[in-house]
Structure 1
Amino acid sequence: MANVYDAEKKVTVNVLNKEFDLGLMIDSYGNTGFRLNNGVFVMGPMAIFSKSVLCWNVRTVIDITPESLSAFYLLEPKLDILVIGVGNRGDKLSPQTVEYLRSKKLGFEILPSSQACSTFNFLNSEQRYVAAAIIPPTNVALNLDEEFDAGYRRQRNLRLYEE
């Protein structure tokens, strides 16, 4: 795990994957976006496939609508499964959007973004024809080591300014 400290705001990144020969994978995520195993950082929401990634034009779970998901159903061959990362635990899709997903008769999973990243990686590593539409989570918890490290750096930086 890595932790980046911004002067006003903490940004946490969780490392998920280091494989390069399995196609695109999500290495880590934070509240601003996603780092992929090829070193690319995707700012904001993304649509990721085995070999390509696109920016996804949504801001919050409220913006995930049948229209914002329509591109995933136009693909040939059809996806085995679509993984939808809604952001934080507790964020939910509208009932109309869930009904639309069911009507398309395509497998889908609706998960918090942290779980959606690892689910996408797992399915992709199994060579499944999978895509994910993921919003970065806004609530990324720090573990105790990360909190200590951030506090230590903050104290060290304050001492440097005082000298």
Structure 2
Amino acid sequence: MSLEVSPLVAEGRNLVSSYGDGLFRFGEETVNGSVLLFPESIYSWNVKSMDDITVDSFARVIEKADEIEILLLGMGNRLMPVPLAWRHALKEHGIVIEPMDTGAACRTYNVLVAEARRVAAALIAV
């Protein structure tokens, strides 16, 4: 079941238009599986669950640290504590990680991009 996300206008920026059934839609573009989402780029993320994530999983986010203040972590359908190692690794680069379920992360990401905030999202597909 694909869930629609309320449409917002953010010219030239990637917004999540829907998610579910193991994929994400960004306007006309569809990506299967988990993604690392930035306002100007989208990357497949080789993560199927929280168990697959290590500090190295955030390497691309850290590479773009000068463009990001907040990383929304869409954890799938359930919340878990974020390991301190992840928080510290990102904080060293000025990035705060905010965990939430994937749906909430999609909606929050869209709002923050529309507000021109420096945000990215690491989204586990549901």
TM-score (norm 2): 0.86
Higher Cα Rg, which structure: 1
Shift of 1:112: 0.6
Q: 2:98 aligns with which of 109, 125, 140?
A: 109
Distance 1:106 1:123 in 2: 15
1:49 matched to 2:38: yes
Q: Which residue of 2 aligns with 1:33?
A: 23
What is the identity, as a one-letter code, of the residue corresponding to 2:62? Y
Q: Which residue of 1 aligns with 2:75?
A: 86
Q: Which residue of 1 aligns with 2:112?
A: 123
Shift of 1:127: 0.8
TM-score (norm 1): 0.68
Gaps of 5+ in 2: none
Q: Which residue of 2 aligns with 1:153?
A: none
State the aligned residue count. Answer: 125
Cα distance change on mapping 1:40 and 1:95 into 2, 3 Å? same
Cα distance change on mapping 1:91 and 1:76 into 2, 3 Å? closer
Shift of 1:20: 5.2
Q: 2:14 aligns with which of 8, 15, 24?
A: 24
Distance 2:82 2:45 in 1: 16
Larger RCO, structure (CA 8 Å, separation 6 or more): 2
Q: 2:62 aligns with which of 55, 73, 87?
A: 73
Shift of 1:76: 5.3
Q: Which residue of 2 aligns with 1:151?
A: none
Shift of 1:111: 0.8
1:135 matched to 2:124: yes
Gaps of 5+ in 1: 1-11, 138-163
Calculate percent identity across the aligned residue pairs. Answer: 29
